[in-house]
Structure 1
């Protein structure tokens, strides 16, 4: 929901479907009050403000840990990538937008962890800066990270986990990866304090694959994956190194170096040198190096420090790698939107140095919010001359911030204590208490508690434990191990350690002299100093932007959906300043608009109020306000703007929308009326034209048959001939004029073409100048930003120096007072010390001279320090400029190389095209020659084809006659073949029925054998049950009744079984009757088939002989007429022929053997008929035997099936009886067993009572 000028978001603790592309499209470019409250609306408002006002924006997601800041940050980036993508929506998101979206999963895997309050807590802060070009498209991005909680890599609190990537790698690595990275069981890693602690709703293996996918999209390759996961595995293995303390010395030892070998293999180190560097490091003392013995605690601390540092440098490399992928130097960014996701305010049972830094950051952010919401708002009222009484909301957090970061504050004292010899955490706490015991925001905790001190933050009181703060602030590392890592055989390890600036073990030990501490003070900056510088730059960036606040609220600490703890939510709203923001929005004027914009936007609400001449903007707005009749309490007129209370501007917007709607409706009505009237006039004109055409047509119909009209039509063309010469000369004149015009137009076109080319050249030149100016402007803007940041740093440095000067002046005044007191004492003692006066004066002079020399040396040292710092900063600036110039030069060289490559590629393509063109021309000539040759051949072929067509038509006539005669014969043969097919089908059906009967018979046999076996088993079981029943049951009357009842039930079952058997017998009789009928039909069909088959086969034989005869005639060159006569005489197909059947034709041929050919035909037919007869007789015999065997087998199968079904039913009945008897016996056994147990319990109780009575009697007798 919206609360004042910012958005309040409550963590729902469940997935909601309100972040889809459809929802994003709904919020795109829509006013905030027209859609429900959403983080998309805040993002869209910031994006539109950036485009309209050309002002950098920032979106600050703040709140406690677990309130949903990281998720809302991801949704903000998702919306910006959708709205400002440089590619069209249909083609998917571009590469840059995809990489921007996939950066978050990588950072979450390596920088987020499970805490008590949040399962996906960000253990680092990040500021994502998304750059946009002048058109509003994303031009690049950059991510800055703050304060990674690297100590979580080696140690976690109860019910918490280390960073997600450790569990993802252990759960999702393949067998090959586990062997390559030397991964072990999670329980074997001491750095995983709670082993593989599961998180509800998170699948580490699936998340590992998602992380790999994101890294692939970011452009990382397999080599990068191997290097990254080697570092992760080595970090875990550092905790598995087990050291022991020697008995008689301070030297620690490593009995088993197996883990050290694994680490050395992963990091590319020598195991001997690494072990020696940990156990016996070389330290520089003066100008010499000595070997220092390390105790077990020192070695373990050194190993843990190296493990943390390895993971921190890996994380830093990942961020730089992501920034390289997101950097688009070719697309110049005009403005940017920054999204801040900082770790939320944390209050744990045990709060350490990391929590102080996080809470300090949240204090600064809350102070920025208060300054923006309350201070700047009321200051603008005063600048605009509005009557306003300044309200103090009591939310000034500056005292807490001063307590932490100002001179003599907590961080300054911590830095100072780090450089003192023999300083400890206890001395730091003592110094802190003595310096700030009276501070209103500082509290000394109870001595019985674990905490050392407490700070009152805006979110409440936080107790801090100062254990190991000095070490955490200095973050010392073993220089020997670092040098080994810098010279590792693995290039990746060398790369991440190449620029290591460390506090060594010599610094950790520190010398006992004050001068030694001072000489090292300028060599290294502590963690708190680095973080303060980072935070200062971040706050300067945020102050230069227009902030948009998203307040994230945690509803409960149980992580349950739908549950809101009202006191917890109200406390967060109060601490975040939400309630005060609502108050100032109600009392103040949160909406404001300049005079000119107000007049331009809302003048249509007050027509004819402002005269057309010039009028001052303020007066014009006042007249408009009077015309709108607004209550004076709802607005205030300032010097350059009009201020409105909440909701007034939204009401004016609604009125404006209504007015625009009315104007548009009236305009639409006018347009529609105009179009309708024009259409009406067009229709009238069409109607008049139709009537004129009708009249002309009627007149023409009357006129066309008139003789004079016909004569006129014939004479009119002759009259036009005389005018042809005149028209020709006229057309020649017109043609000459047109040519003259064309020449002039061509000249003009040439002039315009020259002017156009000149304009294009000027345009190109101006574009280059504009690009150069834009680049100069961008450089100037960057230099301005750097100067502003430098100015801010110098101002803060100046404030620090002023504070120190004040402290030195106070100290100097105290010394002056002490000096005066001593001088008075000296005057009192002068009379007693007259003899030592000369010596004292001499010593006094020497003291003054020494003091002056010391002061001079201190001033010279300070000046040299200042000059050194200035030179170092100038060196860094020059190096940055040199890097920028080298990058720009490299880009220009790449562009030139790319253009030269394109040029050579285009030239080669042109040469190839020219060669192709020449080849195509040659091929075309050859094709033309071949075409002409083929055309001549085609003409010859056409002539030959015509001759063949004539011959073919003659043959076709003869062929049609023969086909008609053959068709009549084939039709008769088809009828006979159909009858034969029907008979064959019936035979196949009989065979399939026989096969089914065989299958049924086999199934019945198997079922019978199975039933027989089951019957035997059941009989045996029944006999056993009967014997048991006889043994266990008593011959009582109740049991006899039960037996008779069972016998009655058996009789009833037998009767039902007999009835079912009778019904089954009847159904079998019906099936037999049907089967006999089917067999009779099959026999009849078989007889018919034999008759048809004999005639058909004879006819086919005759046809085959005729066909063979025709082929012989053709072979021996008979004429067509002779062939026709032979066929007519040989084939008995004429209906009027005297041969009524093939048999008559055969007899006729036998009686008239007129030639050798005819006799050969007769012999062929005889042989064919004999073979056909033999085949038919064999088939007949086979079919008869098969039919008999099928009927017999079917009868036998039916008989056996009946017997098997009867036996099966009988066995089933017996089985049911046996099952019922068994269940009854089981129930009785259970009942008897329970009665026996009850009796045994009663017997035991009786025995106990008897023994107790016996004891009681014995005691009374005694």
Structure 2
């Protein structure tokens, strides 16, 4: 599809203008537009994007320039429109902005974030220091392949699914000129390092390293070529030696790291850490023969030696830390450490905990190196403004839903609650500005109440799901049965909980497989392993460990950090970041599960529309004060709003509907509203008359000048002939 400035596509380009305001009307309009290549549609100031699953010619420099120099509402719906509004709002109102991109895995969220950043970086550079803008733009966009290699993985729904939340800030100085950037990451799915669901894979970087390493690098890392030799990669039914994995991908990643300023030393450290994780996964334990202590031993010590050499630590220290742990005897007089041997199950748990922690540290190290290149420290923080872009994995419902899905879905519940809160607040404020009484929007009010009850179930400090799970992990012998009994005891009568751990999320009911919840939540890395890694002779690996982690392991902690605790802390930081800014929304829709560019699965899309609340959003914005009055007010104030009215009128005319006969969701309730509605009609007719009058005046002037010139031509020609004859 080629871009046409005068073609907004079939149906209506803004769902607010739908004549058939129903689920079927919404779906048919979306389907019709998607099949014709129009993947974007408005809901007021919200963008709905449907993944095209094919290349589209919508993102050229010429199109960027069109949206920069024209009123975006006079142009077809586009993601550039929202990016332009966000940038101008930040510049004119001096307020931090945030673009929240939501949707299922595979709906195009990551691509949307790339397009947003590219537009903002390109446009902001028109009136500022071009070198700074190009540097920040290149760093942010070039870092994407590296972040995808370390943070993305193949899932049953998406071959390149983001398994972490990425929040990117573009920083601007007090004059609105770009000055730098920063990347924050949240909720890395580090459990994927040690286990994956059937037909899924580990993070891309493992396969890229095995397939693309040069012989010299492979020998240094002591790696074999096939993924089938490594436990952390070979326990899935997926084709782990897929020939489609590009052998040049590792070189591309290395070249990208070079381009964003990551040194050769740091690159090698990252790859050494990845290889060490693969060797850790291959360490095998067996029970000790004889004796009363249920200890264990390592049967393939060579894997320990290879991992230890890559990490720069003593192999005996690492081996000892894997099969035993020391506990300080604070009750005794000597206060010496007591060595407690670990059985096979606990030793495997320690090994996996080290692998997950190491990968998480490497990922944070990578993010820090990228930020070192783009973060601005020149200006005072009080003089900075930022535009943030949040790209985080969407709601997930699989055949088997584990602890990771609970974390992901809880995060999406939180973002949905934020959307409801902001929509209610902005609607109420707009009513007040227009001088109308507040009339509660029942859908959003009910959704807000539902969210509060859901988070009481999940996050309550004493009896919430995460609190009960943490409590179970502190038991001498934690068990799944005990945890499930506690859930049923406290929540069996809760409206959003069913026995055997069914939760009724806003996006649908989810049956969670609770069998491994306790093991996955108990993510504690005991102090011996922390100090073993901290004893590395390689500075990079010593610096990986947060100082707070080293300090904490030096003292007794009655409440060790569980994965649930880490998640809640990370989620709180994310929401603090998001709620401090003015939000803008992009709702991404996945049209089918087969990645077809021609098949529109109506049932799948309807489910997504429901849990994103699209129809209710349309209804809220169709109410007269929300929709008509701002148009009236802006139209009287400026010519720009005159263009806005014409743009909306054009959209309605193209759809075959009559602008003035739109059925409002809520009819005027008082004299002031009736007056506003009549003013809207007056403005419409006035504009129509003005257009026709202008055409008449133009025609009149044209003929006047024509006959005027004709008359004088023959007048002078007549006297010329008489004079010379």
TM-score interval for Structure 1 and Structure 2 normalised by the shorter chain: 0.7 to 0.9
Query: Aligned residue for 1:257?
Result: 301
Per-residue Cα deviation, 1:341-370 (whole angstroms, up to 9, x for no partner): 111101122222221111011111111222
Contact kept in structure 2, 1:161 and 1:197, CA below 8 Å: no
Give 1:80 shift.
1.2
Q: Which residue of 34, 49, 53 corresponds with 1:9?
A: 49
Give 1:86 shift.
6.4
Contact kept in structure 2, 1:415 and 1:526, CA below 8 Å: yes
Q: Which residue of 266, 272, 281 corresponds with 1:230?
A: 272
Query: Aligned residue for 1:948?
Result: none
Alignment of 1:77-226 (within 5 A): 77-85=117-125, 94-184=134-224, 185-192=226-233, 193-194=235-236, 197=239, 203-226=245-268
State the secondary structure of the residue aligned to 2:169.
strand
Contact kept in structure 2, 1:475 and 1:503, CA below 8 Å: no
Q: Which residue of 97, 100, 105 corresponds with 1:57?
A: 97
Deviates more, 1:236-245 or 1:656-665: 656-665
Write the distance in 1 (CA, Å) between the matches of 2:686 and 2:352.
Answer: 63
Alignment of 1:253-652 (within 5 A): 253-286=297-330, 287-331=335-379, 334-374=384-424, 376-378=426-428, 380-381=430-431, 384-386=434-436, 389-393=439-443, 394-396=446-448, 397-407=451-461, 408-445=463-500, 453-497=501-545, 499=547, 501=549, 520-521=557-558, 524-591=560-627, 593=630, 599-601=636-638
Q: Which residue of 7, 12, 22 corresponds with 2:62?
A: 22
Relative to structure 1, is the Cα distance of residues 321 and 588 closer, same or farther in structure 2, using a 3 angstrom cutoff? farther
Query: Aligned residue for 1:1174?
Result: none
Query: Aligned residue for 1:69?
Result: 109
Contact kept in structure 1, 2:129 and 2:177, CA below 8 Å: no
Relative to structure 1, is the Cα distance of residues 366 and 644 closer, same or farther in structure 2, using a 3 angstrom cutoff? farther
Give 1:115 shift.
0.1
Write the distance in 2 (CA, Å) between the matches of 1:374 and 1:599.
Answer: 27
Relative to structure 1, is the Cα distance of residues 245 and 648 closer, same or farther in structure 2, using a 3 angstrom cutoff? farther
Query: Aligned residue for 2:290?
Result: 248
State the secondary structure of the residue aligned to 1:15.
coil
Relative to structure 1, is the Cα distance of residues 653 and 271 closer, same or farther in structure 2, using a 3 angstrom cutoff? farther
Contact kept in structure 1, 2:169 and 2:387, CA below 8 Å: yes
Relative to structure 1, is the Cα distance of residues 460 and 665 closer, same or farther in structure 2, using a 3 angstrom cutoff? same
State the secondary structure of the residue aligned to 1:183.
coil
Write the distance in 2 (CA, Å) between the matches of 1:308 and 1:422.
Answer: 23
Query: Aligned residue for 1:1227?
Result: none
Write the distance in 1 (CA, Å) between the matches of 2:689 and 2:182.
Answer: 41
Contact kept in structure 2, 1:418 and 1:474, CA below 8 Å: yes
Give 1:535 shift.
2.3
Contact kept in structure 2, 1:590 and 1:643, CA below 8 Å: no
Per-residue Cα deviation, 1:32-85 (whole angstroms, up to 9, x for no partner): 322221111111111122222222221111011111111111111111121113
Contact kept in structure 1, 2:127 and 2:177, CA below 8 Å: no
Write the distance in 2 (CA, Å) between the matches of 1:497 and 1:437.
Answer: 42
Structure of greater Rg: 1
Relative to structure 1, is the Cα distance of residues 56 and 658 closer, same or farther in structure 2, using a 3 angstrom cutoff? farther
Contact kept in structure 1, 2:97 and 2:582, CA below 8 Å: yes
Give 1:144 shift.
1.5
Per-residue Cα deviation, 1:914-954 (whole angstroms, up to 9, x for no partner): xxxxxxxxxxxxxxxxxxxxxxxxxxxxxxxxxxxxxxxxx
State the secondary structure of the residue aligned to 2:420.
helix
Write the distance in 2 (CA, Å) between the matches of 1:490 and 1:604.
Answer: 62
Write the distance in 1 (CA, Å) between the matches of 2:690 and 2:162.
Answer: 45
Write the distance in 2 (CA, Å) between the matches of 1:259 and 1:280.
Answer: 18
Query: Aligned residue for 1:1020?
Result: none
State the secondary structure of the residue aligned to 1:290.
strand
Write the distance in 2 (CA, Å) between the matches of 1:63 and 1:604.
Answer: 32
State the secondary structure of the residue aligned to 2:638.
helix
Give 1:537 shift.
3.5
Write the distance in 2 (CA, Å) between the matches of 1:208 and 1:638.
Answer: 68
Write the distance in 2 (CA, Å) between the matches of 1:19 and 1:603.
Answer: 25
Contact kept in structure 2, 1:414 and 1:428, CA below 8 Å: yes
Equivalent pairs counted in the alignment come to: 628
Give 1:662 shift.
8.8
Relative to structure 1, is the Cα distance of residues 355 and 643 closer, same or farther in structure 2, using a 3 angstrom cutoff? farther
Query: Aligned residue for 1:44?
Result: 84
State the secondary structure of the residue aligned to 1:582.
helix
Give 1:289 shift.
1.5
Write the distance in 2 (CA, Å) between the matches of 1:482 and 1:406.
Answer: 31
Write the distance in 2 (CA, Å) between the matches of 1:86 and 1:485.
Answer: 48
State the secondary structure of the residue aligned to 2:358.
helix
Write the distance in 1 (CA, Å) between the matches of 2:686 and 2:223.
Answer: 64
State the secondary structure of the residue aligned to 1:297.
helix
Relative to structure 1, is the Cα distance of residues 653 and 315 closer, same or farther in structure 2, using a 3 angstrom cutoff? farther
Contact kept in structure 2, 1:283 and 1:292, CA below 8 Å: yes
Contact kept in structure 2, 1:374 and 1:584, CA below 8 Å: no
Relative to structure 1, is the Cα distance of residues 649 and 194 closer, same or farther in structure 2, using a 3 angstrom cutoff? farther
Write the distance in 2 (CA, Å) between the matches of 1:501 and 1:654.
Answer: 67
Q: TM-score, normalising length from structure 2? A: 0.78
Contact kept in structure 2, 1:85 and 1:97, CA below 8 Å: no
Query: Aligned residue for 1:834?
Result: none
5+ long unaligned stretches in structure 2: 1-40, 643-659, 710-725
Give 1:651 shift.
6.1
Relative to its length, the structure with more strand (as a share) is: 2
Query: Aligned residue for 2:5?
Result: none
Bigger RCO (CA 8 Å, 6+ sep):
2
Contact kept in structure 1, 2:104 and 2:589, CA below 8 Å: yes
State the secondary structure of the residue aligned to 1:55.
coil
Write the distance in 2 (CA, Å) between the matches of 1:427 and 1:538.
Answer: 32
Contact kept in structure 2, 1:602 and 1:656, CA below 8 Å: no
Contact kept in structure 2, 1:589 and 1:645, CA below 8 Å: no
Q: TM-score, normalising length from structure 1? A: 0.46
Contact kept in structure 2, 1:11 and 1:67, CA below 8 Å: yes
Write the distance in 1 (CA, Å) between the matches of 2:96 and 2:154.
Answer: 34
5+ long unaligned stretches in structure 1: 446-452, 508-518, 606-628, 677-1262
Relative to structure 1, is the Cα distance of residues 534 and 505 closer, same or farther in structure 2, using a 3 angstrom cutoff? closer
Per-residue Cα deviation, 1:619-648 (whole angstroms, up to 9, x for no partner): xxxxxxxxxx999989899999x9789998
Relative to structure 1, is the Cα distance of residues 198 and 189 closer, same or farther in structure 2, using a 3 angstrom cutoff? closer
Per-residue Cα deviation, 1:663-718 (whole angstroms, up to 9, x for no partner): 9999x99xx99xx9xxxxxxxxxxxxxxxxxxxxxxxxxxxxxxxxxxxxxxxxxx
Write the distance in 1 (CA, Å) between the matches of 2:519 and 2:460.
Answer: 21
